[in-house]
Amino acid sequence: MTDLTVEIYDTTLRDGAQQEGMNLSVADKMAIAPLLDELGVGVIEGGWPGAVPKDTEFFGLVAKELSFRNAQFAAFGMTRRAGTSAASDPQVRALLDSEAPIITLVAKSDIRHAERALRVSGDENLAMIEETVAFLVGEGRRVVLDAEHFFDGYRFDPEYSLRALLAGEAGGASSLVLCDTNGGMLPDDVTRIVTEVGARTSAQLGMHAHNDSGCAVANSMAAVAAGATHVQGCVNGYGERTGNADLVAVAANLEIKRGVRALKGDGLRESTRIAHTISEITNIAPFARQPYVGASAFAHKAGLHASAIKVDPDLYQHTQPEHVGNDMRMLVSEMAGRASIELKGKELGFDLTGRPELLGRVTDRVKHAEAQGYTFDAADASFELLLRWELGEAPKYWDTETWRVRVSSAPGNPRDADAEAVIKLRAGGGQRFVTVGEGNGPVNALDHALRSALAGAYPEIERFDLTDFKVRIMDAAHGTDAITRVLITTVDTETGTQWRTVGVGPNVIEASWEALTDSLFYGLLKAGVAPHP
């Protein structure tokens, strides 16, 4: 590590919450804030008290119920209105009432925005900045100045944008944050401008980057390289339009690649867990290919990669996944070689070293199955069952005799259809079960009938919830005669364990039957249930 420290300023709860489709409740914010503190960010921006009633309520609860070990809390707001004093402006007073030790003021640093959006003169805008900052500093608060539209304003009129920053510095702002509000900057532009600004002020410089050009993380890194020691962004890259800089990626780049201290404590090693937990709270599915913390960030598929990884994992990984609390995964597909199968087996707990014949059989079987339409890189559970069957280690929970599905529609109303499934199987010591299941479609009816048949022998099945069901037509040119692939996601509601199974067939019902039976079979296996003799 170098002696340099960068202050990480998180705005997930304010700027991130402006993402399309995201609507954080006060309870959501109360759940996310401690996670951000655990991550080790230096500042948590909670929102805009006084302007947003929900944020006002949130700040009141934070003051009473939360304490932070690593982070300080910040309130966001605007400079005073034109024609008033900072002390008499109700929005400025609301920032003080929030009891936040840090107040972040957004200010116009582009002369065009001052004149056209605020409809004030350039000089009045500068007075609004300096006077508001000075008032809040005089009240004992640390003030961070967010210079909105700074980069676009600087390219249009650099002297005025600099004067806006210097007005904040004159008022006593501790940090001057250059905002790429429109998100269109490129790293070389950021490097040049931050360097030029750094020569004109002694205050701490910060960077607030949006991702509209796909460069938010790169622009944040460029700003630090040019002298900025404060970076703003959001966990998981949340934010309006294309989002803000992903703070986890920025922090990981700084610490792992540059040796710069960014997060307090051991937050980086917990970043994968924290990022995914926040995804659950926001109800926005994690992005699998997200750098560092995505499920696919350290997933390897090609056989050539696997051969090298078997020798040294670092040959095909830019860093060790443990640094960010992630794991390396091997994906099994038609690209797999024996090294891939061996490594995947090891990941699942099977030592296949020195078993070339077995590895050859499994590899051939995988490639043959994928040629028929199976996909094991998205269905680890199905691959583990395949491996267990080849090893002779798959228990036998039941024997299916027959199954059938019937769909009938009411006369004159084809949309009012009933589905009925009949299953005959033996389970629970050879006991024969004949069950009927009804559902809102053939697959739903099959699921009900299968669970009904097995529940008596294996009550654990009641814990297994089907949470996702995907259908893909493999060769659409064949029309209704096309091969169908079904992927099913199931979760054990008692343990939280999740698994995926795949089925392929000449129609959606047969493909679904295979994926359903494998799903229940795998769930019983992982629950440690012994088959009845």
**C-alpha–C-alpha distance, residues 79 and 113, integer Å:** 14
CB atoms within 10 A of CB 506: 12
Which regions of the chain are under pLDDT 50? 303-306, 308-309, 333-336
Give the position of tokens 């099959």.
Answer: 446
Of 14, 9, 102, nearest in space to 54 by CA: 14
* Residue whose token pair is 């995804």: 279
What pLDDT sits at residue 415?
Answer: 63
Hey, how many other C-beta atoms are within 10 angstroms of the C-beta on 357? 7
Among 420, 492, 427, 421, CA closest to 457? 427
**Main-chain phi, psi angles of 91, to 5 degrees:** -70, -40
In the prediction, which pLDDT does 477 show?
A: 58
Instruction: Please name the residues in contact with 75: beta carbons below 8 A apart, sequence gap of 6 or more.
Output: 45, 46, 47, 48, 49, 59, 95, 98, 100, 102, 103, 104
pTM of the predicted model as reported, rounded to 2 decimal places: 0.69
> Of 328, 331, 339, 329, which is closest to residue 376 (Cα–Cα)?
331
State residue 335's pLDDT score. Answer: 46
- Cα Rg, the chain, nearest whole Å: 29
Q: Can you say whether residue 126 is alpha, beta or left, with left for phi > 0 and alpha for psi between -120 and 50 degrees? A: alpha
Cα 184 from chain centre: 23
Question: Hey, which bits of 151-290 come out as E strands?
Answer: 175-180, 204-209, 230-233
How many Å apart are CA 249 and CA 230, to the nearest integer? Answer: 15
Q: Which residue has the tokens 């640093």?
A: 109
Q: Is 47 left (phi over 0), alpha (psi -120 to 50) or beta?
A: left
What pLDDT was estimated at residue 306? 47
Residue type (1 letter), 525: L
